[in-house]
Amino acid sequence: MTSAPRARGWLRRRIEGPIGFWVELFAVFNLTFLALDVLIAHASNRFARGLEWLPVGFSLLAPALLLPGLFHAGYYARSRKLALVIGALAIGVGCLGMVLHLESAFFARQTLHDLVYTAPFVAPLAYAGIGFLLLLNRMEEVGSLVWCQWVLLLTLGGFVGNLALTLFDHAQNGFFHPSEWLGVAAAAWAVSSLWMMVLRPHDARLRGFCAWLLLGQLLIGGLGFALHLAADVRLAATSNVRDSVLYGAPLFAPLLFPNLALLGWIGLWGLKRAPQPA
């Protein structure tokens, strides 16, 4: 009977305490989830290169090292150097993955066709974004105006990558369904609005507008997930479940919209709590 009040007390302390906890939790969750995402993506070519196992292993090890710091204040304080190392390694993994993805075709011929149909070169940069989040959380004063602006800027960068992924992925089938333009438009709108939020962090009306905009990104992601799932179910009916997962519409790709929306909300929440100019 005492576990529920204790859990509520823990949650209240986290909400009222340093907002950096939620950024660290976001980073740990995303690193863990990337293990599954990369595993599915690289399984489509049966891990042709042994190096393709690197991000999977990193995504399993790094969260295990970071997780204790989320629940033990003493460990969090002592693990600053560890978090900085993991953040730097995540950036390295992301940049290396981008080069290897481009090397698959684009560096050989440098054509728009090869840019569209090569391995998605933007996807590995998710690791770089998480790495920068970890560095930010341990190098900048958590909850300060600058910290909030950086969180929003990294969210914006995520939406830039999401815009490129959505554009190139849907270009592979020539935007066969008009609804495929929704993700492109939503990501572009998020980029422009969040950029203004970074430049005008004290604008309360703009902050409210961006909060509703991010809610729209959540809805777009849910719709995209439903459409991708429906397409994969149809493919599974004519082949098999394994092929639909590996070669069908990427099931988890639309979930990047609500994922980035959560990070953006953390940044907006921080701006609301940050000291206002006199």
Q: What is the pLDDT of residues 67-121, one digit of tens each?
A: 988 887 777 778 889 999 999 999 999 999 888 877 755 445 544 444 444 557 7
Provide the whole-model pTM: 0.86
pLDDT (0 to 100) of residue 179: 84
Q: Where are the domains of the chain?
A: 17-139, 159-278
18 or 115: which leads in pLDDT: 18
Q: What is the pLDDT of residues 30-48, one digit of tens each?
A: 999 999 988 888 887 777 7
CA separation for the pair 249, 173 (Å, rounded): 11
Q: What is the pLDDT of residues 217-226, one digit of tens each?
A: 999 999 999 9
pLDDT (0 to 100) of residue 2: 61
CA separation for the pair 124, 118 (Å, rounded): 13
